[in-house]
Amino acid sequence: MVQQEPDNEKTGHYRNRNDSSAAEARELRERAIKAVWFCTALTAILAIVFIILFLVRDSLPVVRDIGIVPFLTGTDWYPSGDPPVYGIAVLVIGTVLVTLGAMALAVPLSIGCAIYIAELAPLTVKNIVKPAIELLAGIPSVVYGFFGLIVLTDFIRVTFDVPSGETWLAGSILLAIMALPTIISISEDAISMVPSEYKEGSLAIGATRWQTISQVLVPGALSGITAAIILGFGRAIGETMAVMMVTGNAAIIPNPVWNVLSPVRTLTGTLGIEMGEVAVGSDHYAALFGVAVVLLAITLLVNSAAVLILNSIRERQSGRHSRKKRTIMTGKVWDQIRRPALIGEFLLLAVFLFVALPAHAALLITAGIIAGYCLRNLLDAKQAERIAFTLIIAAAAIVLLILAVILQDIIVHGLSAISWEFLTEGPKDLGRAGGIFPAIIGTFCLVTGAILFALPLGVGAAIYLIEYTKEGRITRLIRITVDLLNGTPSIVFGLFGLAFLVYFLNFGVSLLAGQVTLGLMVLPTIIRATEEALRTIPGSLREGSLALGATRWQTIWRVVLPPAVPGIVTGTILSIGRAAGETAPIMFTAVVFSQRYLTASVFEPVMALPYHLFILATNVPGSSTNKYGTALVLLLLVIGIYSVAIYVRSHFAKKMRG
Amino acid sequence: MTDESIITTSDLNLWYHDTHALQSISIAIPRNRVTALIGPSGCGKSTLLRCFNRLNDLIDSVRVTGTIMLSGNNIHEPGTDVVQLRKRIGMVFQKPNPFPKSVYENVAYGPRVHGIKDKVELDRIVEKSLCDAALYDEVRDRLHESALSLSGGQQQRLCIARTLAVEPEVILMDEPCSALDPIATGKIEKLIDNLKQDYTVIIVTHNMQQAARVSDYTGFMYLGKLIECGRTRQIFENPKEDLTENYITGRFG
């Protein structure tokens, strides 16, 4: 504070108004504050640089001992063979197949559901469906994996009469479910953001609602929907736990290649399975880091594409391009891609249908769809609308049904396991009996540490980006790295934590290593949430404060931050939920399966709920009740956290509107 | 001009990117008088106003040349304390922009950031500022309610009270009535008339009647240039320039 003596002469309560030493001190403090926030903003850059550096460093022996070409193009992956063979093409193919399958299922469902929410749903239904979709996003991937392993694979095994249900199909279905919320919410935003004049204009010339949707709204939102699909794709590629638990993990190329009932193995699954038991510094270790580099490169590429598209949309919306140009452009693109996109989607679906259903049923459905497509011009607009709306509502219903089935299964089976002892005692007999208390505490410690680490860095970085800088090279660089960090698969964070924190900094497998790894993982979420919150504060408030002679920091602290708190809190709560549910980043850095005592120091490993569930589900036969109990506790914990976030957001949104 | 001037600019130029928004402006603002800046939209009135408290510094890619002297000191001098400058030159914006805080906190904000912590002193400043802004009687019972619950006209007077609380020498007003109804506008105009006893007021307005009613001096700007400047009466009744006359008589703008 600038020291000024109250002085009652005249009206002047500011006497020392030209005290230059006070001004200098103030100036110095302002600079120091700015420097601190600049440093926090640099952590995002440092994080991504370190991640790349350490992954590449540890994978370098691949180049020397295996050679880049055999590594990338080899179709055999036998790390335990003699001699061991490391060819990751088979893993890349596995990843691509599972992901493509997931997209074939997820895209039509998501777009249907997005159209339903944006255009068809009555307000009350919309207010239920939207949070439900967000809950779907909140379910931890290990819980999906658990559900897939227990229910889905069993269903597939019985339905198709195959020896094991752990297949490409199971992986695709599960990944499709996990990609749904991403694609739905971004597509829905894109559709809702098409200016309402377009819609009104179309309706006003007598177009039906469906004509308006299919010819004005969807084409107008096309780039947003594309970005949504790409982001969903990126999320699916980087997903580890769920995929690893249901795909069977055999490193083979399906034969024939469209055999969705064949087991496959993905890049992420390989890391998840083998990283835990590999000798540090061996060729195998290097090869796994090579896998991580390839995985990172693929996801970064995919995500950058989505980010580029989304950014160009944002730019257009802020009016740097003319609106006219945009509709013509997207309209043209839409006409060009509509047919190939539909045919491609249809082929993929047909493959699934043929394999998944008895032949005659598949034939019937396929014939029906083809007939429908050919006859669509014979239908009048009213009939076409009725059919389209039926399909759209069906898509939304399927999505809700999936959510209901998952929740119902876990809640019904899990409730019987929950008791006071289960929540307050340690595990016995490898977790078959006893409770999960140390895992609850472990998860609590991990999350608390992660947030304590990420919150100041994230908020500081956002403050620097929004309040202190003009748009320039540095801000662009920081924003790009935040996007990159956001698109980095969680398993890659796990590997980085292992290489950098556990080995290089010599933290060992410890609570601290897990906290920092999780903290880095949620950092981009917090930065973005804070940025969004700061952006909504009108510039007129800042000007009002500065015009009164407040300093930059006084303005931020007293005027800008207080109304931004709800947004920051929401982002933080979402991060807590995400950190609590993640398995892959802590699997090699922080956790042990069984522990009798609570951890006394941050340099010791801990138990954690998601990892406990993973091990129970995959490695401990006959622990059925406790598995479900653990899944339920984890689910309730994460969903509870998400619900609070959703509530906080809507509560304050209402308040802001007055 | 016979009055002593408090702000003088000479050869002031300003560019946004490549747009030459202010071209060689030389104007003297008389102390304890109301000076109005008029002119069609986009002529640079608000930009000029924002030069006086260097609020244009906040905008990317703005370049300024020339000098602005405030009581004999160049405000663009490298060592200038922008914070002090903005304390001496207050500003009221086009749209009321109260902080999302209580009425009391809005007015106390300025004194607080300038280091006054004494509760009694703060109470005194808040009351006095609200009285001076002719708002006290309307809000005395709701000092601790949200400022956003006030009407638009009350919010604007609150913003004036907020400005008065830091005791500036000059008050810049950027179309302070453009978002208000005629009754609220009348109250603000009356207030401006009272303010000039203690303050120098520079007001940007679209409304020529308003300029004629409230100001002692008027500057007419057009396409980034100051066309003519003088006593309000002379500008409105006997303009020297044809452009000014055309504008005043409503032939364009």
Which ipTM score applies to this complex?
0.84
pLDDT digits (tens, 9 = 90+) for B8-17: 999 999 998 8
- Higher local confidence (pLDDT), A645 or A336: A645
pLDDT digits (tens, 9 = 90+) for A5-37: 444 334 445 544 456 777 888 889 999 999 999
Please state, for a pLDDT cut of 90, what percent of chain B lies above it: 62
Calculate mean pLDDT across residues B172-188.
Answer: 89
**What one-character-per-residue DSSP string does A25-93 give?**
HHHHHHHHHHHHHHHHHHHHHHHHHHHHHHHHHHHHHIIIII-HHHHHH---EETTSSS-EE--HHHHH
Asked if B81 lies within 8 A of A11 by C-beta distance, the reply is no
Backbone angles phi, psi at A552, to 5 degrees: -55, -50
In 10 A of CB B38, how many CB atoms? 28
Spell out the alpha helix ranges (H) of A213-255: 218-220, 222-238, 241-246
Where is pLDDT greater, at A399 or B251?
A: A399
The one-letter code for the residue type at A552 is R
Set of chain A residues whose Cβ sits within 8 Å of the Cβ of B58: 542-543, 546
Among B35, B16, B15, smallest CA distance to B27 is for B35
Q: Per the structure block, which two tokens stand in for B118? A: 């004494």
Dump the DSSP string for A128-194.
HHHHHHHHHHHS-HHHHHHHIIIIIHHHHHHHHT-S---SHHHHHHHHHHHHHHHHHHHHHHHHHHS
Chain B contacts to A (CB-CB under 8 A)? 53, 55, 58, 60, 81, 83-88, 90-91, 93, 95, 97-101, 109-118, 121, 125, 128, 148, 159, 162-163, 166-167
CB contact under 8 A, B114 and A559: no
Positive or negative: CA dihedral B93, B96, B100, B104: positive
pLDDT of A349 higher than 90: no
- H or E segment and range at residue A395: helix A381-415
Q: Which chain B residue has the Cα nearest residue A7?
A: B121
Mean per-residue pLDDT for B52-62?
84
pLDDT at A3: 43
pLDDT recorded at residue A84: 85
Question: Phi-psi bin for A206: left (phi > 0), alpha (psi -120 to 50), beta?
Answer: left
**How many whole angstroms separate alpha carbon A430 and alpha carbon A174?**
28
- At A561-601, the pLDDT tens digits run 998 988 898 888 888 988 998 999 999 898 887 766 666 77
Could you tell me the CA-to-CA distances from B27 to B11, B90, B202, B245, B246 in Å, in that order? 9, 19, 12, 20, 22
* Mean local confidence (pLDDT), A349-370: 68
Residue range B55-63: mean pLDDT, rounded:
82
Residue A23 and residue B159: Cβ atoms within 8 Å? no
Q: How far is A549 from chain B (nearest CA, A)?
A: 4
Q: What percentage of residues in chain A have a pLDDT greater than 90?
A: 33
Q: CA A268, CA A95: separation in Å to the nearest integer?
A: 8
Calculate mean pLDDT across residues A324-346: 60
Find out whether A423 and A440 touch, Cβ atoms under 8 Å: yes
* A158-183 per-position pLDDT tens digit: 888 888 888 998 999 999 999 999 89
**B1, pLDDT greater than 50:** no
Name which of A205, A178, A186 is nearest A101 in CA terms.
A178
Domains of chain A by range and CATH?
20-57+440-606 (1.10.3720.10), 67-334 (1.10.3720.10)
Question: Could you give the CA distance from residue A591 to residue A573 in angstroms, rounded to a whole number?
Answer: 23
Read off φ and ψ for residue B73, nearest 5 degrees.
-110, 135
Cβ-contact B227, B41 below 8 angstroms: no
- The closest CB to that of B121, out of A6, A23, A554, belongs to A6
The DSSP string of A380-392 is: -HHHHHHHHHHHH
Per-residue model confidence (pLDDT) at position A337: 66
Q: Which two tokens stand for residue A538?
A: 């009108």
Which of these, A222, A238, A345, lies nearest to A297 by C-alpha position?
A238
State whether A544 and B111 contact (CB < 8 Å).
Answer: no
Q: What is the pLDDT of residues A619-647, one digit of tens each?
A: 888 778 888 999 999 999 988 888 888 88
Find where tokens 């009351």 sit: B127
Return the pLDDT at A235. 86
* Cβ within 8 Å, pair A548-B110: yes
pLDDT attached to residue A358: 60
* Chain B residues with beta carbon closer than 8 angstroms to that of A554: 113
Over residues A547-560, mean pLDDT: 92
Task: Indicate the angle between helix axes A609-619 and A437-463, nearest 10 degrees.
Answer: 130
Dump pLDDT digits (tens) for A310-328.
Answer: 777 766 665 544 444 444 4
The highest-confidence range among A156-165, A477-486, B166-175, by mean pLDDT, is: B166-175
Mean pLDDT, all residues of chain B = 90
Residues from A in contact with B at Cβ < 8 Å: 1-4, 6, 11-14, 17-18, 20, 23, 26-27, 470-471, 538, 540-551, 554, 558-559, 562-563, 658
Q: Which chain A residue shows the shortest CA-CA distance from B113? A: A550
Structural element, H or E, at residue A360: helix A359-375
For the segment A73-93, the average pLDDT, to the nearest whole number, is 87
User: What local confidence, expressed as pLDDT, does residue A645 receive?
Assistant: 83
Apex A79 CA angle, A75 and A81, nearest 5:
95
Chain B's closest residue to A554, CA to CA, is B113
Q: What is the token pair recorded at A532?
A: 């969004």
pLDDT at A158: 87
- CB contact under 8 Å between B87 and A26, yes or no, is no
Is the pLDDT assigned to residue B148 strictly greater than 60? yes
Residue A420's pLDDT is 86
Burial A437-465 (b: 16+ CB within 10 A, else e): bbbbbbbebbbebbbebbbebbbbbbbbb
* Contact residues, chain A, for B174 at CB < 8 Å: none
Closest B-chain CA to A564: B100
Looking at residues A269-297, what average pLDDT do you find? 90
For residue B77, give the amino acid letter. E
**Could you tell me the pTM of the whole model?**
0.83
As a whole number, mean pLDDT of residues A115-144 equals 89
Residue with tokens 């695709």: A172
Rounded Cα distance between B210 and A263, Å, is: 81
Residue of A nearest to B54 (CA): A547
Q: List, for residues A423-463, the tens digit of each pLDDT value.
A: 888 888 777 888 888 889 899 999 999 999 999 999 999 99
- Name the phi and psi angles at A88, rounded to 5: -95, 0
> Is the peptide bond prior to A256 cis by the omega test (within 30 degrees of 0)?
yes
A500-532: pLDDT as tens digits: 999 999 998 899 999 999 999 999 999 999 998
- Domains of chain B with bracketed CATH: 5-248 (3.40.50.300)
Residues of A in contact with B98 (CB under 8 A): 544
Coil, strand or helix at A14: coil
